[in-house]
Structure 1
Amino acid sequence: MAKFSGGYDYDFVDQPPKSLECSICLLTPRDSMVISCCGNHFCDPCIGRIKSNRKPCPLCNSPDFTTLLHKGVAREVNALRVYCPKKAQSCNWQGELGQVDHHLNPTANSRGCGFVMIECKYKCREKFERRAIAFHEADNCANRPMEVQVAFLARKLEMLATENREIKNKVTALEAENTLLKQQMEARPLPPVPPFYFTVYNYRQYKKDNCTIMSPPFYSHPKGYKMSLQIYPNGSNTGTNTHMSVYAFIMRGEFDDTLQWPFTGRVTVDIYSYKLKKWTQIQVFNFKEYPIERGYDCVISDGSGYHLFFPQDQVETEYMFKNGSYTFVCFRVNRVELV
């Protein structure tokens, strides 16, 4: 708005032409008036003050003049595009200057600037921005009529009922999901537990390729520790190139949160002798010497086993079954004792 009773001090979208400027306030003229003495135009408030104080024309110094509304200039001014005076409060409206008053003070059926301060219609002496006044009058004003308060409570009860229905629907969906998960858990096959059998097919080829062999995972007991065997046909550490090395490892399992850590149990591993036609207990892997705090997603480094598990020539002669070009070695995890 104008800083004083003169021209328009709006933020214009495009700078108005100099020809429209009031020569007194140097602003875009409000109610532009043309004067009889020299034909120049001024703001009605500006030239009105000159005339009421009986001063001469500020441009031609004529002591006597009359004024008349300059309708052509007024139309040009009203057509200039301006931003809302509440732009600093984030109102993004822009339009013709002639529509500003309607934007700031709309009719009952029109939507105006939401950032104009309005007094509560229930005379509580509070003022709110237009965008918030309806909420105050309907929900918060202490002076609002009883029927308005009742309507507010009815709306709130309806909202609570809707929220309650949504919560019930969510609970029903979660219960159904939980039931489905339980059914899936019950339908899943139980994980393998000792005695756990593991046959290495093409053992001689693994040895030739110097590959490490890892068994499928098994569990120490139902809902127990997840484990795996790892076999080095060419040995490891002190057994490299002379012995088969075998280790047992703890892996990350789905029941770990319910188990006691560290794991300090014993794992008994057997190997089948095709020469003697019977299982031979090889070693008991003692995790008390290598306590495991927690398993890994895959075998990394922590485990218990023996570098000198079996001499390679003894594996070839006693524990490897040959069928043509295929060779087999069978292992059995006989039991896992929890210590």
Structure 2
Amino acid sequence: MSTSQENLNPTDLKSQSYDGFEISFVEQPPKELPLKCSICLELLTDPCILDCDCGSNFCKVCIEKVKKNGYPCPLCQQQFTTILPNKQLQRTLNGLMIHCPHRADGCSWMDELSKLKQHLNRMPSNETRLEGCGFTDVLCQYCKKFIPRQYIPTHETETCPKKPYICQYCGHSSVPVDNHWLVCPQFPVPCPYECGERPQRQGLEHHMEEICLQAPVLCEFRYAGCEVELPRQNMANHLRDSIVDHMTLMSLKHREEVSSLKEENQLVKQECADLREENNALKRCFSEHEIQLLKIESEQKAKALKESVTDVKTKSDCQFDFENQMESLERKVDDLTSEKTATSCVQPSPFRVPIELVVTGVKQLKQQEEAKWKSLSFYSRGGYKMVLGVCQCNRYGLDFSIGTYLSVYIFIIQGEYDQQLKWPFLGTVTITLVDQRRPEKDITKTLDYTRENYEEGAQRFNNTLTNGLGLEKFIEWKYLNPNYLKDNCLVFRIDDIEYMYNW
């Protein structure tokens, strides 16, 4: 027993193994103070005692491995059940004064054992990686190699082969292997004409074309025939010394141009004469007899259209549709008789796309306090009867910023299939303002009939235009440019009506 105790207390040693380091004490520890763990043979870490008879101290990690494997006490070979931390011994060990393990390398740190880990700082955070012993190896954040802490600042800013490269010209950040200087737009490059200037790479072309004195340039009178090419700095002397030559070349060039223009003028005159002959020939083709026939045919078409108006007035059962159809036919009669623009609507039955509403007289009507247009009624594929309305106020019949916006509405009216349909109408209606010169610039917007706007999609029991769903600010007057407002007309189109059966 005395032999084992003597091995556990080597008072003749001033250094001990601790966490992979050989540490040395400032003063010799007391002889009776146990220092080593008899299992790992290193300085005790978190010392613990057992409930056996030997009373020896072990490292907590070491003795827990022994207990886990079911072995007895390594010294007295007695079974134990309890491991108790020796806090008094731990405090004593923590208070021992030691030198830094890197003392031989030059570290002069000396303090209590409990502060060794803080001093070494072997697993630092980004904020504390430069704090602690300068001889402790720290991972370089660029090349991922371990370098003594005291050399880390110099290594990462100067010697590390993988440290970021900051271009001094443009501020671009990269690694040196990227050869950024070969593509840097602000890197100074020598002029190819050896003028001595070093413009930025991005301005090299401008320098050669506009500034470089050594760049070869052509004479300004090249169009007249001067083929001289000199460095830019010598061109002024050439222009001054060759005034007579340049004037001679310009005179010859002018004569050639005058001669060419005369020839072109003769060709134009001949073409005009040919066109006049063709025009006279066309006029002769339309004799007075043919003109009379065209007039008779036009009168017959007008008479037929007037008869159609009479038939519509006597046979129509729906007053609302009757008025719109009569208005459309009368306007067609006016087109043939007085050649005036009128509002026209297409009412296909059954529904087909597109449905069009041509709004005429926009420039005059937009100045009035209330301007409205409405299409003929039409049916959706599902059988819902609708009317397209256009006005210049917020609600149909209510003023809102008159002269500022054009509003578009869809009104559901009473139809012959209403008893077989599901109400409210739930779906979408696509409305397009046609660009009459560029179809790809059409303005298309969609109205959504949902359960939230129940009133707008509810069943109607008359043909009054109420509770319409629309776009109050479809387009501002100021955006009705000639592409949309052609010949004082706007064209609106119903492109599609989709009924949501599964809503």
State TM-score, norm by structure 1: 0.39
The structure, 1 or 2, with the larger RCO (C-alpha pairs under 8 Å, 6+ apart) is 1
State TM-score, norm by structure 2: 0.27
Higher strand share: 1
